Homo-oligomer: A and B are copies of this chain.
Amino acid sequence: MTNSCLVAKLSHYINLTATECVLLARLEEATEHYSRRDIVLDQGAETSDIYVVKTGWLYGHVRNSDGVDLIAEIFYPGDLVGLSQLAFETSTVCYTAATDLALCPFPKNSLKTIFIEQPRLVALFFAFTTLERATMIDRLRAMGQMSARDCVGLFFLQTKARLSITGLATGRWFPMPLSQELIGNAVGLSTVSVNRAIRQLEAEGHIRREGRMLEIMRPEILGRELEFFDRHYKVDSSWFPNLD
């Protein structure tokens, strides 16, 4: 078997054919390394490449004129970075390494043949974008009408769910390498409010921290309270094109 992260993630959803595996593995031939805080692609730069995340986290963010930063998306191993910028010649967001990072770049022109020859993979990619959109709606709901505590709690539940797909969350523990400032940028809160929310969740016995690891004590209870639904566990593939 291949040790491709992308294959690992996709296999969670459908049984990949050997042809598909080979083709996907080819996207991960080159590898680039980045250190935490490195900028992978700056806002306004040309979006000629797509990246597969091999190890580490990175995030896409936009800075507005008052200097406030908003994290638009966070990527984990197995994710495809840059699909959301396909329609733009220059990037609308800045990609920054959240941890030390290994990325596999491939030119976005490689998608041409995939679109023609691998309609089922395209359908799966398409499905992913809809999952991400649903998650983004959850974020909108959180930012618009939930308390700071609930925003942060929901963010942790979402993160854990995403990591679980590729087996990066073991049991109730998962890594949380983002600083409280970055968490704030992700959920639209100030550092101070994030800190107070975390301490409150901790005091209530919902979470526990141990270095950069986080434990959600009773995921089901917290999830029910915050109306969290794991959008990433399963996709409906009934409309996927059949294999030839």
Q: What residues make up the interface of A, taking CB atoms closer than 8 Å to B?
A: 47, 62, 64-66, 68, 70, 72, 83-89, 92-93, 108-109, 111-113, 115-116, 119-120, 122-123, 125-134, 136-137, 139-141, 143-145, 187-188, 227, 229, 231, 235-236, 238-242
Contacts and interface: CB of A to CB of B under 8 A. Distances in A.
Question: Which 3 residue pairs of A and B lie closest in terms of their CB atoms, listed nearest first?
Answer: A144-B188, A87-B127, A115-B119
User: How many copies of this protein are present in the complex?
Assistant: 2
Given A87-B128, A109-B239, A115-B120, 13 more contacts: A68-B145, A70-B145, A87-B235, A88-B130, A108-B239, A115-B119, A115-B122, A122-B126, A132-B133, A136-B136, A136-B137, A140-B140, A143-B144
11 contacts: A62-B137, A64-B141, A70-B140, A70-B141, A87-B131, A88-B231, A89-B236, A116-B241, A122-B122, A126-B126, A144-B187
Nearest to A232: B87
Contacts of A134: 84, 87-88, 92
